[in-house]
Structure formats: structure tokens, C-alpha cells
Structure 1
Amino acid sequence: MEETLLMQMIERMSIAATLAFVLSQTTIFRRITYSYVSVMDKVKLSLIFGCIGIVGTYAGIPVDDALANSRVVGVMAAGLLGGPAIGAAAGLIAGGHRYLMFGGFSAFSCALANVLEGLLAGWIKQRYPHSPMSWWMVLLSGIVGEIMQMVIILLTARPFEMAVTLVKHIALPMIVANSIGLMIFMLIIKMTMEVQQQVGAAQSQKVLAIAAQTLSYFRKGLDTASAKAAADIIYANGSYPAVAVTDTERVLAFVGTDAEHHLSRHHQLTLATNKTLQTGNIYIAKSPEEIGCQCPGCLLTSAIVVPLKRGEQIIGTFKLYYVDNKPVNQSDVVFAEGLAHLFSIQLELAEIDRQAKLAANAELKALQAQINPHFLFNTLNTITSLIRTKPDLARSLLIKLSAIFRFTLQKAGRNITIADELTQVSAYLAIEKARYGDKLHIEENIDPSTGEYLIPSLTIQPVIENAVIHGLKPKNDGGTITISIQKTVHDIMIMVADDGVGMDLAAANPLKHPFNDHIGLMNVHERLRGQYGGFYGLTIDSTIGAGTVVTITIPQITANEGEACAQSPDC
């Protein structure tokens, strides 16, 4: 129930994002930037944020005679922007509406919590009055505010049993979704207010109009469909000769002048696009030579290329093109940066949604790859055949099989040392050696000092299992698997190589387009990227008839460092 509720609340964040854009266009918000807010302005801000809280109530999801809602986003945003008075007033408006209009056993608790959350946010604002508040501080504020609300419900809502049940159901979804929603709300407001200061209300209204139309398309991430929809909307509203969106390898969408040859399968990314992908910075091409299009006779004369990011990872670019030697306008640069920032936030939200779903089944898939019916059936058959002829070996294999089960039950989903992971791998390989006999050879080149570093459990074994099943098993005479673990300057490199049948990566790369038999590699890859970031994960090098090398890259983190990281809000 909690996972479904979390997904529903994350989907409703687009409402908060849209409201943030709308509010950041008003004159009253500009006065907040310069710390000039009259008494009447404070009244207006209290009403505005109180209404945002009310919208969050109406967008709530009924749970146990109460509502899982995003009311706190409007209330705490009021305090973070305007101080304790505005935060408390917005909380009183939103909480009072909740108390009078919806009732329920938690009505008073929720109303009281809203007022106190507004005061908390205002107090935080007073502690950081002169510098823009960092995103992590806003995120932490949201978490503390929502935890406080859960405590208040437990202390004041009656009957107590219903309060406990309610908190069990809504605590995690509301803490996660609303703290992230508050962070996104504040980031969007900050971003668009900066745009307004540079280019004025007219250009910002254009950003808002386009942003409101593209919100729904990027919910599924950056692909051909979302890129095409975004490019069409910008082209229709922005009066640019051409608009394009790329990922890191190809043009996903191109609308306008010379669209045909830029969308050709043989057209490579332009020089300007590659520079933005390499540096992560905006690039302004002022001539056809700086654009670097390889097609003779291209009519594009200048361009603005802005990176699209998901967190810190660059995943593509957004481009505005000009013709007829029209100079690049500074307002267009700000416009492009503003849209790219917004798209990046939307893509990050889509990634949060995807990672939440991936986390729910990644462990299950890993366990299925580790102990599947075929592996268990074949192992038991092998042991059965050895009971009379080689009873000691049969007994040893039973012990190793039980160790594999015990490891799966106790360690799955945790970070363990490489030494512990290799113990599990050894048990698995001992069973496979008993099954395949002389057809399976194992070679190891392992730096002993790497054993103390942490690795997510069930990382190496699925890769080795893939090498056995898909690399060596199809060969009549079997082959060799080589396991190498070495340290680089900052990382650990784990290589699993086989001299098996190999694969055609151009036709089917299991890390880009996984198929049923190779889904284990994708699961390991996504788990590592989700935990450590886009620079880590798996790479595959394979030659048909010669074999495959899978390289696992993880950072050097010891057990003590892992514990310190888990306790730090900055980690």
C-alpha cells in the first residue's frame, strides 16, 4: 500500500511544480527577492500559500478516514520564503480549511501540525536570511516538518489505535514525496525568479507556457516521444527556425529548417552538441563552422546548445537554431537555460519514479538469478548422482547449497565486503564445477587488499552465472572463466572474462536492450548506477567465437566509510 501511495503522490508533484512557476512570475515574489515586503504583501502571500495548501488538500488521497496530501508544500514554502509570520498564517489558513471542511479523527492534529510546520520553516528562514537556501537544506526541512506532523498525530489524534494505523500507512509516502516536492517547488521558484531578473516578465511567461505543456511528456523520461513533443511545443511557441533534442548518442527530435537531414540515421551529432556533452556547459555557436554540421549546404548559422541533466549526469542536449546569420540574443540564452533546467528537474522526477519501481523488483530479480528452479533442480540431481559414488563430495555440495540459501536470506539487498561476496561466489562455482567437471575451468587474479571494500550483495555471482550459461555451456568442450579484481586510483575494477561463444553487441546489447535470458546483467548494472551514480556499473566487451569480458566498476568504500556515509545527510 505504501509503495502505491508513494507513486500516486509523486505523480501529483507536477501540480506543485506548475504552481511554483505561476507564482514565481508575480511582482510580489520579486519583492521577496529584495527583502521589501509590506504588510499588505504579507497578507497576500499568506493567502496565496494558504490556497496552495488547500489545493494540496483537494489533491489528497483518502487513507484510513484521513488524507495523504501535499498541503505541507505550500505551508512550508511560505515560511521558507516569507518567515515565521507568513508561514504560520498560511498554515492556519490551510489547516483551518482542513479542520472545517473535511473533519475526521485527525482533523485537529493536521491543522495544528500545519501551523507548527509554517513556524518551523519561518525559523529556518531566519537562520539563513541572506543567502539562497541550498536544496539539501530545503529537503531536510521538509523531512523534519513531516516527521513532526506524524508525531503530532500520534500525540493528539484519538483513538490512538487509528492514529498508529494511519501513521504506518502515510508516514513514509508523505515524508518522501512532500520533502522532494518542497525541494522541487523551491528550486523552480528560485530558478524562474533569476530568469525574470534578467529578461523580464514577457520571456518568463513564454517559459511558463511551454513548461506547463511539457510536464506530462517527460514523466516517462527522455526518449523519442517526449523529445519530439517538447521540440514541437517549443517550435510552436518560441518562433525559432529549428529546435532539437538529443541524448548522448543521437538526435531524438528535430523540428524546423533542415530537419530531414538532421534526423537521418547517418547524421552524427554536431560539433557544438559534442562540446556541450563533454563539458556539461551551455555552448553558443555563432557560425556554421562552430555548429559543425557535417552535411554540405546546411542552412543553420548559429545555435544555443544547453545540457540536459539527471542529477549530475548529462543525458542529452536541448538546442535552439538560427538561420540568415541572425545573432544569438541573450534573452534566448536565458530562455534556453531556463527550459533546460526545468526539463532536467522533470527528468529527475521521472528517474525518482523509475528508481522506486526498480527498487521494488531489483532484489527479487537478483534472487531469481541467484536461486532459480533450474539451478536448484540441476544441483539436486548432481548431488543425487554422487551420493553413492562420491558421498563426501555430495555432502560438501549440500553444505555449499545451504550456504547459498543462507547467504540469500541474510545478505540480499545489503552492502557486504568483497571477501564475503567471493565466499558466496566460491560456493556457487563449486557446485557448477561438480556439474560440468573438466569442461569448466576457473582462474583468479584477485588483489587480496580489495577484500575489505564494500559491494552490493549478489553483484559478482549473477555475472559469473551469465558467463557459465550463455558463454561456456553452448560450447561442447566448455572453457575458462577468469575473475580479476584490482584497485585503480579511486575505484575497484572487477572483470569476469570467458572464452565462450561471445555475442553480437551491435545486434543485442543486454545493457541497452535486455532480453529475457540476460535480464540479470541489466539488474546488476541498474543497481550499481542507482547506488553510486552514472559513472559506475557494468561494461561489456564481446567478440563472437572468442568470448566476453564484463567489467564491474564500483567506488572504493570501506565498511567504516559506508557507515559514516549512511549517517551523513550530504552523502
Structure 2
Amino acid sequence: MYEFDLVLLLLQQMCVFLVIAWLMSKTRLFIPLMQVTVRLPHKLLCYVTFSIFCILGTYFGLHIEDSIANTRAIGAVMGGLLGGPVVGGLVGLTGGLHRYSMGGMTALSCMVSTIVEGLLGGLVHSILVKRGRPDKVFSPLTAGAITFVAEMVQMLIILLIARPFEDALHLVQSIAAPMMVTNTVGAALFMRILLDKRAMFEKYTSAFSATALKVAASTEGILRQGFNEENSMKVAQVLIQELDIGAVAITDRDKLLAFTGIGDDHHLPGKPISSLYTQKAIDTGEVVYADGNEVPYRCSIHPNCKLGSTLVIPLRGENQRVIGTIKLYEAKNRLFSSINRTLGEGIAQLLSAQILAGQYERQKALLTQSEIKLLHAQVNPHFLFNALNTLKAVIRRDSDQAGQLVQYLSTFFRKNLKRPAEIVTLADEIEHVNAYLQIEKARFQANLQIQMLVPEALGQHQLPAFTLQPIVENAIKHGTSQHLGVGEITIRASQHERWLQLDIEDNAGLYQDKPSASGLGMNLVDRRLRARFGADCGITVTCEPECFTRVTLRLPLEESAC
């Protein structure tokens, strides 16, 4: 009967431990205990936490004769099991020294046994981790079994060290069963609390990640197309569906772009910003949160608005400048969820990145258009002068050839001055180049030979406009026109696996690898190819002085391949 009463009393003391553990599980201090790690902060937290549990286990114990029936083993074993041998040993040493300082027949034996209990928990920790089974560390069954064995070891140590032996034996007979039962159950329940908190944390994290991924996937690319009312409304509708909140609004710096949810009858897109919370977020660049309790929220548009709290997060563009806000609302009868607050801030960063990417893409498109216009402007005025002089000379001797030259000249300038699109077919590009070459051939006559080796099957492949013409113009202007003999221009198109290769070769071999105005057209072509298709594409030049110069262009057979 005495042992049963002692078990009940110790269980009461153990319940105090479990209440403390439960309260601690509601704080951030509990989070590092939910994982096996070698990080020093985690080890320190384990040491401090379970050293306190060890000391409290002694203080809350029941004085029996010249000893203390206690729940100290819970702290020592849990410290070793969650922190490893070093932490377990230090927790045991701290708890043991504290017990030794209180004196008594079992002071020394209890100090030694507490250290051994901590080391025993740490030993099991190391074995499970080395065997690749760290999750077993968090098993209530494991914690209970180790604590049971640890208490058996403690009783043996008391019998070995405490004197007189008769008193030690009588003490062990009195406290062994109650302490073994109480500490075993206490350790298992403590681990159960930890395991439940871990499962809840993982579920929370998983739900958070799943929601974030769904939002990211659903809003991908919308604001890249432009930060306007139409695209903002699409994003707002995705957010209110995925986040399950009262309302969503998106603004620029001046007006409301989109609103959906509670209050959409008076929060109308296109209206100027009237909320002080929104204006504060724009002016300061900081997140503004009005929970409706500590920070009161009141709608600035309608006195009977059912919205009761709001989170306003700035959207940022180039150079981190605030370009608008995203606003999440909750109804007056609902609390604003902390997960929605965290998600809202993350979503704002995602949308800001989309807006910025869209701005860069539009700037890149404008730059590309400028480069194309620059290529248009690179047509040498002397070419037109020479072409007209050539036409004048041909008219005198061959009216039919003159008619063809007029047609070639018309084709050249039509394609040079007004292309319908940035991307054209290889056949269209060859037609443009051929018009240019035929005009030049009429000028140089027998001193210029042209060879086109372009398979018809490759003619429908697409490539950027003005890819070949600047290269061919360079080959004549800085190559064959300065060659003493007959100039030869060869244009080849060939397929190499998934790549299209275009070669423009002249027989002059006068290429010089140095920056100059004459190389501007070729450099622009190279940059455009690399920017559009990647670093594997672009231009390479091979030159054998006074023999040949070959300019090779490499690009994918299908634009979608890169």
C-alpha cells in the first residue's frame, strides 16, 4: 500500500513536469527540440532545458528517510536522447551536482547515477543516428524503455555505493518500483507531447508550402504581362480562392487596380487610394498590419463595411522602389490568421519579382527593337549611291537586266526598311541577302562570284531578322571588294543534330579581330543570337590570311529548343 501511495504522489509531481512541458511547447523554444542536429544552439538549448528539468525533479521529490524519491531521470535521459552523449553527460552532471549539494546517504550514488542516465540516453541517440534511424529518437516507446533501464541502473548504483548497505537495500525496496513506473511513464508522455508538436509543425509547414506553391503556380507570369487592372484582378481572384480570406485588393501608387471579396460593392477599381494604411505602406515601404484589436481598423470608404482587419504589403519594382501594394482583409467576425500574414508577405515578394521581370523583359524588347533599327541605319549610304550608278550604267547597255536590278533594289529596301516581324524564315532572309548580292554582282560583274548552298528543307526554319545581311555586307565591303582577284562569296546552310549552321565565306582572308565601327553589325547579330538562344549560339570567325574568312552562325533548329 505504501508503494502505491508513493506512486500516486510521484505521478502528481510528474504532472507538474508535463504541464511545464506543454506550456513550453507553445513557445518557439520548443521548435529546436523537434529535430536531431549537431548545431551548437540546439545543443545549448537541450542542455539548459533538461538541466532545469533535472533540478526541478529533485526539488519536487519526496523525502524518504535520508533520500529523495524523484523524477530527475526524465530530464537526464531526455537530454541525452535528444542532444547526444555530450549534452546528456553535461545534463546528468549538472543535475547530479545539484543533488549532491543537498547531501544525504545517497548523495554520491545519485550524482553518479544521474550522470550515467544522461550518458545512457546519449548512447542510444548515437546508435540510432549512426544506423540511419533518427526518427526513432522521438518514439515514446524508446524514451520509456531507456528511462526504465536507467532507473534499474540507478538502483544498482545506490546498492553499490550507498552505505550502510542495509539502509540502502531497504531504500531501494521502498522506492524502486514507484520511481521506475513514474519516470518511465513521464518520459514517454513528455516525448508524446514533443512528437505531437512535431507532427503539428510538419503539418503546418506542409500546408504552408502547398499553399505557397499553388499560389506561385497559379499566378506565374500574370504580372509579367503588365501591372494593370486586368492582370491585377486575375491575381486577386487566385489569392482569395487559395488563402480563404475576406477580401484581396491590389493598388498602384495612386489608385485601386483590383478588389474582390467582402466589400466589393464600394471598393471599386479605378478609384483613388483613400486608405491611410495603404498610403503609409507606400510612403514608408513597410508592412502595415491593423488587426482590429490592438491596432484598430476602419474602412475609409463605407462606415458599415464588414471588413475588420487588414494587412498591407508594399510591391516593389526596379531599385526597390514601391510601385503599389497588395492588401489582404479579414471580416470583423474572424481573426486574421498568422499563416495568411506570413504567406501574404511571401506572395508580395513573388509578385514584385514578376513585375520586375516583366519590366526587364519589356526593356529588353525595346532594346532589341532599337538594335534592329540600328541595323537598318547601318546600310551604307555609298551602297545606294553605287547601286544607282550601277543601275544607270546597266540601263544603257541592257534594259532587261536594268529591270531586274530595279526589282532587286526594291526587294532589298522593302525588307530592309519594313520587316513585318522580328522573326523571319531562312528563305525570307536568303531572299533579302540575294537581292543585295545581285545588286553588288551587277556592280562588280565578273569580279564577284556568288554561290548559295541552302537546302530547301531548311528554308522554313525561323531566325531573327537581319541575321545574314550585315555579315554578307561585311564580307563584300571588307573582303572581296579589296581583293585583287575574283571575289567569291559562298553561303551554306547545314544541319548538325539539333543545330542549324550558317556559313558565310569569302576568299579574301582580310578579317582583323579588333573592335571597329565596321564590326558593329556583326557584333549586334552575335549579341542578339546569344541573348535569344543562349551562350551556345552566336557567331564564330575563322580566318586564313589572304586565303579565306568564314563567319559561322549557330542557332537551334527550333526556337523552342533553347
TM over 0.5: no
Higher relative contact order (CA 8 A, sep 6+): 1
TM-score range, shorter chain: 0.3 to 0.5
Larger Rg: 2
Q: What TM-score results when the alignment is normalised by the length of structure 1?
A: 0.39
